Structure 1
């Protein structure tokens, strides 16, 4: 490969849901120069509209040099190490999987494939990383507000479920750290996990989950205080109409990460 040129990345996509469909369609339409969608892995039939072959996980590894996970933290736990050990790079959307400290250590130790994590539904992470390089962040808080129906979990007792289902205003569902909250809400707290990775301390990030029947947007408020400054980010996204636990912005964040990995010039990193 000569200077100034970039090889085409052969992309395999795991998951054909709210994230995967948007990412896969954009790749198939050649919206991302330097990236070619070669395969899709999913447990369900895709029909004739799929823009790439529907293959097994093993076949995807043979076809690809970059796998994009868009199917949930279980995929990261089950297949992450195998992807990296095969020499294939892995971009994950389900950052919540990395709050499992043992899994995170195994993935970071695996190779020769490289592990990447997309920022997903929140911004300001680059600024927090820069601030952290100047000195410790003394306090980091995240408040996530979503529709009550997207937060119901099998472990909840009848009293808590009743509070969610009859809420007429905001209801605080749980407060904890960025280490334990993602395990309780695996489809709703990738932002908490991503923030924990950014600041390097899952136990130092306090997370509050709020259910609000009027939450037409999914809202994330990050507040951080450090030696050299105070930072606050407030974002509100429209949820995907078919999968309300996922914000519409997430697949576009994945595409932006892919653009960086395929060498697109002129972007802010």
Structure 2
């Protein structure tokens, strides 16, 4: 089998782990050909740093590890070029018009990774039994990782002076990821698994004691009830991202590269 020719967009907390693993040949069947980043990486880059256009010419698989804006700006161009696209920033897919365009643009194919949460395969499976009546995702993180430009002084003060958990925002999976573009991609991943952005309620909680990022999914319907809870250490360089996220991307890459013995 011919190795997948991978172009990586983003050399941050996720991209560095993914790119380093690819260079070390830790993903059989996948080869890192180039990097795209808006900062000059110099000797820090383990592969040639090229323009987005050149990456499309060289690669048959583009990995997005740079944020929702990249998916919006470049996603369709990747697919139209014939390359496949693996999305880490699933929050971009809560824009239903964009999501539909990505699903219908080709000949490239679009994929997304579950990132920091589990149980998505089971939620996808139970959809065939009927709709879920209740789906709630509660995400708890350190207050500083949740601060956003749109927040008012009162809310920021509550978060910064909190001695216990503070609910920062509650809404649907359509609404919340857009307000926290780097912190709540999990909400979009759950909604994509459930198949309905408005059916998934999301609570974002700031907790000064949250040394681990915690995601709790509770779902129920006529066919059963389900609860998944995960707790991750945040990435030390970017606490808004859990350490496990780049490894979820690498697992998805392994599947796309054709490694056998995977649970799909």
TM-score, scaled relative to structure 1: 0.97
The CA deviation string for residues 142-198 of structure 1, in whole angstroms up to 9 with x for no partner, is 000000001000001100010011111100111100000011111111000000111
Could you tell me which of 27, 30, 41 is aligned with 1:32?
27
Further displaced range: 124-133 or 245-254: 124-133
Cα deviation for residue 49 of structure 1 reads 2.8
1:43-192 matches, within 5 Å, as 43-192=38-187
Deviation at 1:101, TM superposition (A): 1.0
Query: How large is the RMSD of aligned CA atoms in angstroms?
Result: 0.6
Cα offsets for 1:87-118 (capped at 9, x unmatched): 01000000000001111111111100000000
CA distance in structure 1 between the aligned counterparts of 2:127 and 2:136, rounded to whole angstroms: 15
Could you list the runs of 5+ residues in structure 2 that have no partner in the other structure? none
Query: Distance in 2 between the 1:165 and 1:249 partners?
Result: 26
Match of 1:251 in 2: 246
State how far apart, in whole Å, the 1-side matches of 2:223 and 2:103 are. 30
Q: Provide the C-alpha distance between the structure 1 equivalents of 2:115 and 2:145, rounded to a whole number of angstroms.
A: 18
The SS at the match of 2:183 is coil
Query: Could you tell me how far apart the structure 1 residues matched to 2:262 and 2:191 are?
Result: 25
Q: CA deviation at 1:213?
A: 0.5
Deviation digits for residues 232-259 of structure 1 (CA, Å, limit 9, x no counterpart): 0000000000100000000000000000
User: Given that residues 142 and 206 in structure 1 are in contact (C-alpha distance below 8 angstroms), is that contact kept between their aligned partners in structure 2?
Assistant: yes
Per-residue deviation at 1:214? 0.6
SS at match of 2:43: coil
Partners of 1:67 and 1:227 lie apart in 2 by: 40
CA distances 1:7-60 after superposition (whole Å, capped 9, x unpaired): 210000000000000000000000011000000000111121311000000000
Q: Residue 132 of structure 1 contacts residue 226 of structure 1 at CA under 8 Å; is this kept in 2? A: no
Number of the residue aligned with 1:211: 206
Q: Does 1:241 align with 2:233?
A: no
Structure 1 residue runs without a partner (length 5+): 1-5
- The count of residues paired between Structure 1 and Structure 2 equals 264
The Cα offsets for residues 204-253 of structure 1, whole Å up to 9 and x where unpaired, read as 10000000011000000000002211000000000000100000000000
* TM-score for the superposition, normalised by structure 2: 0.99
Q: Secondary structure at the match of 1:48?
A: helix
Asked if 1:9 is matched to 2:22, the reply is no
